[in-house]
Amino acid sequence: MEIDWESLGFSYMDTNCHVRYTCRDAIWDDGIQCDEPFLNIHIAATALHYGQSAFEGLKAFSCKDGSVRVFRAEENARRLMSTAERIMMTPVPETLFLDAIERTIRANLDFVPPYGTGGSLYIRPMLFGSGPQIGVHPSTEYTFIVFVIPVGDYYKGGLTPVSAMVMDEYDRAAPNGVGHVKVAGNYSPGLRPSMAAKDEGFPIVLYLDAAEHRYVDEFGTSNFIAITNDGKYVTPASSSILPSVTNKTLMALAEAEGLTVERRQIAFDEVGDFSEAAACGTAVVITPVNRFVRAGDVIEVGPREGSGPVFERLYKKVRGIQVGELPDDYGWTRIVQ
């Protein structure tokens, strides 16, 4: 199969295989390698009826030294365990998770974009209730799957800034709900507002807190981050926000640079006072956001073109560590091949 590595988007592509594990009565099997991208699932599976379903997203990279490395897989393993516990699924042990990731990558090395192309191997672990259960009750069987696809950037243009629509008509997640874990059901309610925003030319949606619509929560699929005029790195503190591995990475790098990092409530009224604002996540690392539109009012932040200097610097550090151009002083990467 010929792949145009330079023109990769962010869409599904068949690869060699995926790996699949089954848990019955709280015991995980040794897993199998599956060549076909299809499932035979019971019609009464709890994933289909009661939303016992979760996923993660992480990446592997071809590196400067010829190795293939996966980035911060342990963090994704722990977050999946947290999600599983919240919706009463049997958690995937961290060792099994990491073995599954490496097993899947090695079986699909032909699909890892070459070093220098800007692409990466996106890894999608999934955990869901696959056993039959008609009463509202946790399943007695769970399936854990890892598949991979080669991808480019989610938003084309690298550090090219985008405009965000501030969403007042919909909420992403409620306080004390499941916004802080990566359940599959968090994403379907966001499809309608996301499509409505895209129809008006906005590639990204910003949600405010569900209780008062006064404070920044997060973007549809990414954490909100900003730089204040006095050089502080700020990101919202909210029980409804998914703890982003990328945000955690950026905060560590910002602190290493000597920046003050604050996780706190951020009033939407503050946004116009920031020198830089961005969305951060696995798919993009950082996407600068230089324009927020709310009910016709426009707030502009940062440079009109490109990223501000702080986020550009942090972006380059993350990418440099991921592809082996900078030393990994934090032990964030695992060599797979």
Residue-range definition of the domain harbouring residue 35: 5-151
What is the per-residue pLDDT for 148? 98
Cβ atoms < 10 Å from Cβ of 170: 15
Q: What pairing do the DSSP bridges indicate for beta strands 261-264 and 216-219? A: unpaired
Spatial distance between the Cα atoms of 20 and 23, rounded to a whole number of angstroms: 10
pLDDT at position 154 over 80: no
**What mean pLDDT is reported for the chain?**
96
Spatial distance between the Cα atoms of 41 and 47, rounded to a whole number of angstroms: 10
- 156 lies in a domain? no
Contact between 60 and 336 (Cβ < 8 Å): yes
Check whether residue 134 and residue 171 sit in a common domain: no
pLDDT tens per residue, range 231-245: 999 999 999 999 999
| CATH number, residue 130 | 3.30.470.10
Whole-model pTM: value is: 0.96
Check whether residue 109 and residue 25 sit in a common domain: yes
Check whether residue 185 and residue 301 sit in a common domain: yes
What is the per-residue pLDDT for 1? 75
| CATH number, residue 260 | 3.20.10.10
pLDDT tens per residue, range 270-328: 999 999 999 999 988 999 999 999 999 999 999 998 899 999 999 999 999 999 999 99
Q: What is the separation, in whole angstroms, between the first and last Cα of the chain?
A: 21
Check whether residue 93 and residue 231 sit in a common domain: no
DSSP states of 200-264: TT-SEEEEEPTTTS-BEEEESSSEEEEE-TTS-EEEE--TTS---HHHHHHHHHHHHTT--EEEE
Burial of 311 from C-beta contacts in 10 A (0-12 / 13-18 / 19+): buried
What is the per-residue pLDDT for 156? 62
Instruction: Report, as an integer, the average pLDDT of 202-210.
Output: 97
Catalytic residue flag (residue 248): no
pLDDT at position 157 over 90: no
- 9 lies in a domain? yes
Check whether residue 187 and residue 289 sit in a common domain: yes
Check whether residue 315 and residue 227 sit in a common domain: yes
Using the 3D structure, point to which of 105, 130, 151 is the last residue of a domain.
151
CB half-sphere exposure, 212, CA atoms < 13 A: 8
Number of domains in the chain: 2
What is the per-residue pLDDT for 153? 76
Strand partners, 142: 23, 129
Check whether residue 186 and residue 312 sit in a common domain: yes
pLDDT tens per residue, range 128-138: 999 999 999 99
pLDDT tens per residue, range 49-92: 999 999 999 999 999 999 999 999 999 999 999 999 999 999 99
Q: What percent of the chain has pLDDT over 90?
A: 95
Question: Annotated catalytic residue: which of 59, 64, 156, 182?
Answer: 182
Q: What percent of the chain has pLDDT over 70?
A: 99
What is the per-residue pLDDT for 126? 98
Q: Which helix (H) or strand (E) holds 196?
A: helix 191-199
- 333 lies in a domain? no
For residue 197, CA distances in Å to 169, 207, 236, 280, 286 come to: 11, 12, 22, 19, 20
